[in-house]
Amino acid sequence: GNSVRGEDVVDRYQLFKEIIPLHRTHGSIHPGSYAFPFAFHLPSELPATFKLRPGHKFGASITYRFKAGLDLGDQNWAKDLYATQEVVVADRLPAPRPIHEHQSIVAADPKAMFQCFAGLGNVNLTVSAEQSTYLQGDAIVVNAELDNQSETIVDSVRVR
């Protein structure tokens, strides 16, 4: 009779990746609290975020996230720290008609934060964005905060 055969395919494709060094040092970042605010523009041609899960064997998604990293140098006992924050990229709405006002998309949780803790004493890396939903071509303002209350050597802070 009639039969349908399928094949499982798992593939990842990066649409957009940018590495931004926020701070480099030729020594170590002394104990204390530091903030590394930065901004960048999303490319206007990025596809919107979506997740498609119609069945147990089929699915597709487009997701975006910030990943901040803390390089801890050549210390064999220490692993680098990472903090990740997922954001939503929404389709830009078509130009409004003159009688309607365009309403901007507001993030449900504009102060969403992720904290990463490690067993290195008191070293904390936090990444936060002003909002969690953006439109293609928007400027994104992000803040990476480092709280180093240890003797751990920090070589650099970066965001991907």
- How big is the CA angle at 93 (ends 88 and 96), to the nearest 5 degrees? 150
* pTM over 0.75, yes/no: no
pLDDT tens, 120-146? 456 677 777 777 777 778 877 777 777
Report, as an integer, the average pLDDT of 3-18: 65
Domain ranges of the chain: 20-92+104-159
Tokens coding 11: 């593939």
What integer pLDDT is reported at residue 5 of this predicted model? 58
3 has a pLDDT exceeding 80:
no
Q: What percent of the chain has pLDDT over 70?
A: 56
Give the per-residue pLDDT at 143. 77
Residue 75 in this model has a pLDDT that exceeds 70: no
Please name the residues in contact with 109: beta carbons below 8 A apart, sequence gap of 6 or more. Answer: 132
Inter-residue contact 52 to 62 (CB < 8 Å): no
| Per-residue pLDDT at 74 | 65
Give me the pLDDT at residue 92, please: 72
